[in-house]
């Protein structure tokens, strides 16, 4: 026994079956269009997520810095002729004023996840007759390692930062010829000097950073840089990385301390992201437009071919509203059918791309995460496009005069 179906469904499915070739071609066209949208959108989202992950691998979302010293114009003596003397800003380390209180204020904000004080400065590291200029970063390991996952980058030794420990990059270790357990002498300024033991060797994935960056305990850096109890910056991570600039502005208004977000510091990155998003939107629009024209053209031909049948149905008492719904339903079915095939095709293309495109070491270029919401929105968009594209042909079919249509 056949299940009951509304009149519109019976007629719409019959028209689609009778024009199998036309139906197959338009469903294939819609499928290709949807597959392009899905593939390009997922690829762009994966690329952006990979960029963000790389940018934030070695830095905080927001950095609070002490106020910069400005150049000062020295007063000239009365009657003195010539350009005024300008005193350049002093090259000295300064601490964030009352940083423990500022940290407590930040931790009270719901958007802030982690706050870690750091002391950064330049020093000279020596072993025997070899010496190198380095950047020393003093951190509290418990909090800082939640911002920068340094333990994951350790290739030898341990991510230990006791009072006498030092973490160095793999390239600096090679230049100095040191291994875990060796001692290095660090000199900062004219007299500050300390001897530290290499506890671990890391690889940040950047040769310049591996040659210059070293990590010590916060108290060790404060002593070495002659900044007792101070912090040259506060590193902050927020729960929503894309809201970092908004949170930074709120922090500045709340504390009066200059706050730089990763978004402001990577303006060129966001320019490229916006350009990619604009290009992807344009591709979506033109693909959807071509799909709409394809569906509309097929349904216009269908109306012309079935004018006599439409006239007979109208003569039998079928209302214009039902005829309208028949062709609107056809457009929606064509869009939905093409979307289902297109989502499957796009997903398969993404999996194939990830399998074939590899880094020289065999790892994927970046990990793709399939977003179900994108597939649902693509199907909804294709169905809506089919419905809108079918409106003009459906209206034409509904307005056919039964007598004229039957006479042909």
Predicted pLDDT at 83: 53
Query: DSSP characters for 391-403?
Result: HHHHHHHHT--HH
Residue-wise pLDDT for 82-125, tens only, equals 555 554 544 456 788 889 999 999 999 999 999 999 999 888 89
Number of C-beta neighbours around residue 210 at 10 A: 21
Residues 303-330, mean pLDDT to the nearest whole number: 77
Enumerate the domain spans of the chain: 7-54+269-407, 93-256
Phi, psi values for residue 71, rounded to 5°: -70, 140
Residue-wise pLDDT for 10-50, tens only, equals 877 887 787 778 778 888 888 888 888 888 888 888 777 77
- Say yes or no to pLDDT of 276 above 60: yes
Residue 380 pLDDT class (50, 70, 90 cuts): confident
Phi, psi values for residue 205, rounded to 5°: 80, 10
Closest CA to 219 of 120, 125, 140: 140
SS3 labels along 51-74: HHHHHCCCCCCEEEECCCCCCEEC
Beta strands in 239-339, from DSSP E residues, in sequence order: 258-261
b/e burial code for range 238-262 (CB count within 10 A of at least 16 → b): beeeeebbebbeebeeebebebbbb
Q: What is the pTM of this model?
A: 0.65
Name the CATH architecture for the domain at 93-256.
Beta Barrel (2.40)
């Amino acid at each position: 026994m056949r299940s009951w179906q509304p009149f519109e469904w019976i007629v719409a499915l019959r028209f689609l079956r009778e024009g199998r070739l036309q139906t197959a071609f338009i469903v294939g066209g819609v499928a290709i269009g949807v597959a392009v949208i899905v593939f390009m959108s997922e690829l762009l989202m994966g690329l952006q997520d990979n960029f963000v992950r790389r940018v934030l691998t070695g830095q905080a979302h927001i950095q609070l810095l002490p106020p910069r010293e400005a150049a000062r114009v020295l007063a000239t003596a009365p009657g003195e002729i010539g350009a005024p003397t300008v005193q350049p800003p002093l090259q000295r380390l300064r601490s964030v004023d009352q940083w423990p209180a500022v940290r407590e204020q930040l931790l009270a904000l719901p958007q802030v996840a982690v706050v870690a004080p750091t002391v950064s400065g330049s020093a000279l590291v020596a072993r025997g007759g070899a010496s190198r200029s380095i950047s020393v970063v003093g951190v509290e390991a418990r909090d800082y390692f939640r911002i920068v996952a340094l333990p994951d980058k350790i290739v030898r030794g341990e991510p230990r930062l006791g009072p006498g420990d030092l973490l160095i990059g793999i390239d600096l270790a090679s230049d100095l010829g040191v291994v875990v357990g060796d001692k290095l002498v660090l000199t900062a300024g004219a007299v500050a000097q300390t001897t530290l033991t290499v506890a671990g060797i890391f690889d940040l994935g950047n040769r310049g950073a591996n040659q210059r960056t070293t990590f010590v305990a916060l108290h060790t850096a404060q002593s070495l840089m002659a900044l007792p109890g101070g912090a040259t910056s506060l590193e902050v991570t927020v729960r929503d990385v894309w809201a970092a600039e908004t949170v930074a502005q709120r922090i500045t208004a709340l504390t009066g301390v200059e706050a730089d977000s990763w978004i402001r510091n990577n303006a060129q990155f966001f320019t490229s992201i916006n350009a990619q998003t604009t290009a992807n939107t344009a591709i979506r629009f033109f693909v959807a437009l071509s799909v709409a024209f394809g569906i509309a053209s097929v349904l216009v031909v269908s109306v012309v071919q079935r004018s006599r049948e439409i006239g007979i149905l109208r003569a039998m008492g079928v209302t214009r509203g039902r005829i309208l719904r028949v062709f609107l339903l056809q457009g929606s079915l064509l869009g939905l059918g093409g979307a289902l095939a297109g989502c499957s095709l796009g997903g398969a293309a993404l999996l194939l791309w990830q399998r074939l495109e590899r880094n020289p070491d065999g790892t994927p270029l970046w990990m793709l995460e399939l977003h179900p919401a994108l597939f649902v929105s693509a199907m909804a968009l294709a169905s809506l496009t089919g419905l809108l594209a079918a409106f003009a042909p459906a209206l034409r079919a509904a307005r056919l005069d039964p007598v004229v249509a039957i006479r042909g």
